[in-house]
Amino acid sequence: MSGPDPFGARLRRAMDERGPLCVGIDPHASLLADWGLNDDVAGLERFSRTVVEALADRVAVLKPQSAFFERFGSRGVAVLEKSVEEARAAGALVVMDAKRGDIGSTMAAYAEAFLSRDAPLFSDALTVSPYLGYGSLKPAVELARESGAGLFVLALTSNPEGREVQHAVRTGDTGGRNVGATVLAHLAAENAGEAPMGSFGAVVGATLGDLSSYDLEINGPLLAPGIGAQGATPADLPGVFGPAVRHVVPNVSRGVLRHGPDVAALRTSAERFAVEIGAAVTAA
């Protein structure tokens, strides 16, 4: 019996059918307040259910930020489980933004929590950190392949602090390749020969400007935070990503979520971003 379709194939299909927009589910305290909700589990549940109801049947990807659920303890995690289940049932792919990174059996346990198909928090993909060495991600890579899931590996992030690690040149690298470029090279190797697109993507900030010095052609998706509140616009995408823009999954969180709790307003905002992103990518 054949296994599940790989994440890369499912994502490419969703992007072609629904457009590439990814919307975050980020119920931080200030946003709950803006929606007129209490900063408690009931507010969290109302917020998450509203976003899923508004968008899960029309955007390609929803990306819950695990931390904003975990801060409420087990009851918050239960809300996260339900949100993931309902979003996937409505047709959206779910990228769990948990940025896990560890070694050995601990990394394997993190992988099992989010990438095992029978796990309550099973997601289509998981964000992970490679900064204990790319090889430390091996348990997650192996389980993702087995379950048909994917990974988004932090490579060139939009936060200014990331430069001190990601732009550092590795000792002994005669080509002068920095750490971010090394991560991209590992991902290109993971995705080699996959069609229509590999399942192992990179997180690359849309706010970083011209990245033509990097080889972003990893045959995998590029999750691009920074659209909207962080200052990047859909029109910036071709200039940042060049030919790799066709594999970009632009992430918008506050730019859409600030229009809640009105479902129609959330949908209108997401549709506007989707149209602008589609036009920018098509024109590239």
Catalytic residues: 99
Q: Can you tell me the distance from the alpha carbon of 253 to that of 241, in angstroms, rounded to the nearest whole number?
A: 20
Q: Can you tell me the distance from the alpha carbon of 116 to that of 127, in angstroms, rounded to the nearest whole number?
A: 15
Q: Can you tell me the distance from the alpha carbon of 127 to that of 223, in angstroms, rounded to the nearest whole number?
A: 10
Closest CA to 216 of 251, 191, 252, 253: 191
Count of CB atoms within 10 A of residue 32's CB? 20
As a whole number of Å, the end-to-end CA separation of the chain is: 41
Residues whose CB falls within 8 Å of the CB of residue 131, separated by 6 or more in sequence, listed in order: 101, 154, 165
Q: The tokens of 267 are what?
A: 């949908």
Q: The tokens of 151 are what?
A: 């990974």
Q: The tokens of 99 are what?
A: 């940025």
Query: Kind and range of the H or E element at 32?
Result: helix 29-34
Q: Can you tell me the distance from the alpha carbon of 110 to that of 77, in angstroms, rounded to the nearest whole number?
A: 15
Q: Can you tell me the distance from the alpha carbon of 85 to that of 80, in angstroms, rounded to the nearest whole number?
A: 9
Kindly state the greatest CA–CA separation across the chain: 56
